[in-house]
Structure 1
Amino acid sequence: MNISFRQLRLFKAFAETGSVTAAAKLMHVTQPTASMQLKDLSNAVGLPLFEFVGKKVYLTEAGKKLAVTAQSIAQEWEAFDQTISSIKGLERGTLKISVVSTAKYFIPKLVGNFCADHPGVDIALEVLNRDAVIARLENNLDDMAIMTQPPAHLEIQDEVFLDNPLVCIAAKNHPLVGKKISLNDIAHEFFVMREVGSGTRMSCDLFFKNKRISPNVRLTLGSNEAIKHAVGSGLGLSIVSMHSLTEHDLKVLVSVLNMSDFPIKSQWHIVSLKGKKMSPIAQIFHDHLLEKVSEINESLEHIY
């Protein structure tokens, strides 16, 4: 099978964008050239790699397999390039990370510190919901993913690196603020919760199930910022990550309730597909994360 590396890179771009025109633009070739190379690639494989239904493109089974292969080869080449740069005494390359949305409260600062120490490294940081992060993990699109609830259906490498305590918050004028309370005191309260499937919601659901409590969920929202404002407006209590609470939130919007059985224990995980080898840049960033754990924990001291 006579296939060039350039053709594989083009097909990777085509698979990711779903567009011949967009793939051609990424590869800096004309659209007719891209179309011809994709046709030659299909002929070399001996099977159709994609089909158009209406105006939308769909990869065939062979196309999906080739997309995975092209992605793996591209990552191996990036790792090789980084290794050679390391041997030469250089640090350059691209680090790809996907994180669930709650991680946006501490990951950007860590990335910023890392970039300051390693100016030759480019960062591609995706902040997404848990399902989208898992989808990228399934397709091996990143060097690593950071989340609180790793998927059970995938074979993964999973390393815990940071605690993620979950606390119960209320509006600053709520009558329970400032009191020592128990779960019984919130039995009839309304709750504003994250969407089903988010890491925070999964931890909360498991906690309440173990306590044999059915919280009265009045409202479901897809972001921590929306939840904090809803709670601050008196729409109910909520359970959020300590990492998501800023000094401004605690001064203006909400208060953390002093409740037995809280904080709920949760943890941040560094996740990748099983057997995946870290590139030199990814390994350096991984070590950087572990070195900064105590600093991140100190940043939570404003909560209590």
Structure 2
Amino acid sequence: MIQATLHQLKVFETTARLGSFTKAAEELEITQPTVSSQVKQLTKTIGLPLFEQIGKQLYLTEAGKELLTTCQDVFTQLDNFEMKIADFKGTKEGKLSLSVITTATYFIPRILGSFCLLYPDIDIALQVTNHKQIQERMLNNQDDLYILSQPPEEIDLKSQSFIDNPLVVIAKKDHPLANQKQIPLETLEAYPFIMRESGSGTRKAVQNLFNQHNVNVKVRLELGSNEAIKQAILGGLGISVLSKHTLTFACHEDLTILDIQNFPIAKHWYISHLAGKQLSIIAKTFLEFLIDRTQLMKV
């Protein structure tokens, strides 16, 4: 391994991550033959095959899987070293990889904007996704930090809540229930309902509440986007439950929050990272910035 170069390891890591020599060449901005040559030289150095190709699909061998893990550790440590050197110099330079669920986009961009103004030399890779895909990213250790409303219990994480995330019932302002107070929960059974997609944290919280009180709503639509749900409500297709943040930070004059008993559902936003992960200086800096900044935010 001492004969292997960092360039060869980078080429291998990129190829393994993308599952393609061609895609690796495109990302690294080198030719495909160069990628193949570098992987071939590294394979010779290791003395065992790193990939096996079945049809057009590229698979890692057991040796390849072990080397990929080693490469990721090496590059993480090198990135951390660069960040520490920048920190010693009194600057903050480096990369931050952040994954958030879609609802977080109502407030995270403005926080990131303030963070980038304070630390202009930090590059941020932001991935916006759903709960299912964010769990996959966690299992693959693809990011430094994750922002979500319901950290998965089956993954070993360190999580910290940083702001309330109340779930409320939203309807058009001219809805028959709009001006009523303390409406019984079972009243919702009489009106068409728009539900978030299966796997959504909001959907799980709503279903748990309905199950506890034996409430069965008439689900007319299932949608995977907060904006799509709001448009459906405006179109008269029903009522729904969304995070209050979706109105606070993207206000719609024609929408209102219904005063339903047992609502709002008290939830929180969490920032998480893998329990065994050593956070970089940049990740720690952002985590502290996020906690401090959101203490000033009101829902």
TM-score between both structures, scaled by the size of structure 2: 0.93
Selected match of 1:190 from 189, 192, 200: 192
Q: Does 1:213 align with 2:208?
A: no
SS of match in other structure, 2:72: helix
The offset of 1:78, in angstroms, is 0.8
Aligned partners of 1:191 and 1:219 also within 8 Å: yes
RMSD: 1.8
SS of match in other structure, 2:237: coil
Deviations 1:38-76, CA, capped at 9 Å, x for gaps: 123333334333233333323334333332332222222
Selected match of 2:206 from 172, 180, 204: 204
Equivalence for 1:131: 132
Aligned partners of 1:195 and 1:220 also within 8 Å: yes
1: CA distance, partners of 2:90 / 2:293:
25
The offset of 1:188, in angstroms, is 2.3
The offset of 1:19, in angstroms, is 2.0
SS of match in other structure, 2:252: helix
1: CA distance, partners of 2:103 / 2:163:
13
SS of match in other structure, 1:263: coil
1: CA distance, partners of 2:249 / 2:104:
17
Give % identity. 43
Equivalence for 2:116: 115
The offset of 1:235, in angstroms, is 1.1
1: CA distance, partners of 2:222 / 2:171:
16
1: CA distance, partners of 2:218 / 2:61:
45
Equivalence for 1:77: 78
SS of match in other structure, 2:14: helix
Equivalence for 2:234: 232
Equivalence for 1:59: 60
Aligned residues: 297
Please give the residue correspondences for 1:250-289 in structure 2 after superposition, counting only pairs within 5 Å.
250-252=252-254, 254-289=255-290
Give the gaps of 5 or more residues in structure 1: none
Task: Output the amino acid matched with 2:76.
Answer: Q
Equivalence for 2:10: 9
Give the gaps of 5 or more residues in structure 2: none
The offset of 1:9, in angstroms, is 1.5
The offset of 1:85, in angstroms, is 0.7
Equivalence for 2:148: 147
Deviations 1:76-115, CA, capped at 9 Å, x for gaps: 2111110111001121111110001110111010000000
The offset of 1:172, in angstroms, is 2.0
Task: Output the amino acid matched with 1:107.
Answer: I
The offset of 1:143, in angstroms, is 0.9
